Amino acid sequence: MTFHSESYLPALKIDRQGKRHVNYQAIAILALPLFLDSLTYIVVGLTDTWFIGRLSTDATAAVGAINWLMFVCIMVLACVGVAVQSQVAQAYGSGNLTEAAKITWMGIWAAGLTIPIYVLLANHGAIVLAPFRLEPRIESLALLYWFPRMLGGSIVVADWTLRGFFNATNRTQLAFTVTGIVCILNAALNALFMFQLGWGIAGAAWATTVSQAIGLIIQVWLFLQPSMQKTYQVHCVWQPNAGRVLQLLQTGALAGLFMASDLIGLAFFQMMQVELGVVPGAATQVVMTLLSLAYQPVVGFGEAAIILVGQSIGAGDRRWAKRIGDAVIRLSAVYMVLWGLGLAIGGTWIISPFVTASDPHAIEVLTLASKLLWIAASY
């Protein structure tokens, strides 16, 4: 069933003359939890960077060497969740709620198919990093961090899939709440694993993976609640359909490769910085993590656009879909410019908490990072 009434179009405001206008307040109500949801992921990254900075400059440089490479490896397949969100939004916009649940189950099955891939990546980190010829001490630390993070890759794919469902069905507060819980757990587990249990840099990676696994369990529990079963029939449409599962994997992987095109360049850039020395590697890691404050929350705006555009298409109005998509793009651009400028002006004051004052390279890292922050903010 497809609706064509204006009453089903999202973020629509009609004035007294009958003209259509974008309801920015409605966009803000939808986008704010998504924005904050993306922001909490940054907090997880900043938390890891802060805790790892307490270990040594070498540890920070090691994570910097592989951070973007790990992100690319995970994001390429995690974009299955983006495909799920887009399709669920269209199903929701057309009123086909059972189909929305079916799409989500296909995404969960697709996440299961990625398990062998991430187990393989986790166990062959040395082969993946070999072409980059990192210093032995840096590579050994990087591999300790690599294994737990890659092992949890499928968890991220499933997490993005369920978040896609909740977001596309206007339950953005649920997704944000779960991510907030993960953020708090990550900080607590970092302290426990890294220092109390003495796992060091590996503890930081395990803290992230375990906290994400707990977040996934919570989302599955929410997805299977009686109210969801009544409204979406989630308990009746779990059976896998090979064609649809593979189609989601293909769509997600292609979207992931497109999104990762710039990040692959960043991954090589950070590798080269680490090859130049520990100080450039550590400074770059701190700067890139802070820079994520300028662009990563925009992912929340992007998710809002996917939902609003999908619901508009589902309601049968492609022209409104384009108009509302353009409005979200303008909001994103304004945010990135303002935050990028703020980070650059903050300089050393913002960077200093992530560098241990007693570290012999502390002053060098602070000096270089302050300069890099201006360049990065301009980018």
Look-up: residue for tokens 């924005």?
35
Asked whether residue 225 is assigned to any structural domain, the reply reads: yes
How many CB atoms lie under 10 A from the CB of residue 377? Answer: 22
Looking at the 3D structure of the chain, how many domains does it have? 1
Asked whether residue 327 is assigned to any structural domain, the reply reads: yes
pTM as predicted: 0.76
Between the alpha carbon of residue 234 and those of residues 102, 228, 290, the distances in Å are: 7, 7, 39
- The length of the chain is 379
Judged by average pLDDT, the poorest of 2-6, 43-47, 61-65, 230-234 is 2-6
Asked whether residue 329 is assigned to any structural domain, the reply reads: yes
Which pLDDT tens digit goes with each residue over 310-357?
Answer: 778 877 888 888 888 888 888 888 888 888 788 778 777 878 877 777
Q: Which of these, 63, 1, 81, 58, lies nearest to 302 by C-alpha position?
A: 81
Kindly give the residue spans of alpha helices, DSSP state H, lying in the chain: 24-53, 57-78, 80-93, 97-113, 115-123, 125-129, 136-151, 153-168, 172-190, 201-223, 226-232, 242-276, 278-295, 298-314, 318-346, 348-351, 362-378
Domain residues for the domain of 79 are 6-378
Q: Has residue 2 got a pLDDT over 50?
A: no
Asked whether residue 1 is assigned to any structural domain, the reply reads: no
Alpha-carbon distance of 224 to 320, in angstroms, equals: 33
Which pLDDT tens digit goes with each residue over 257-283?
Answer: 887 776 777 677 767 777 777 888 788
Look-up: residue for tokens 């978040």?
163
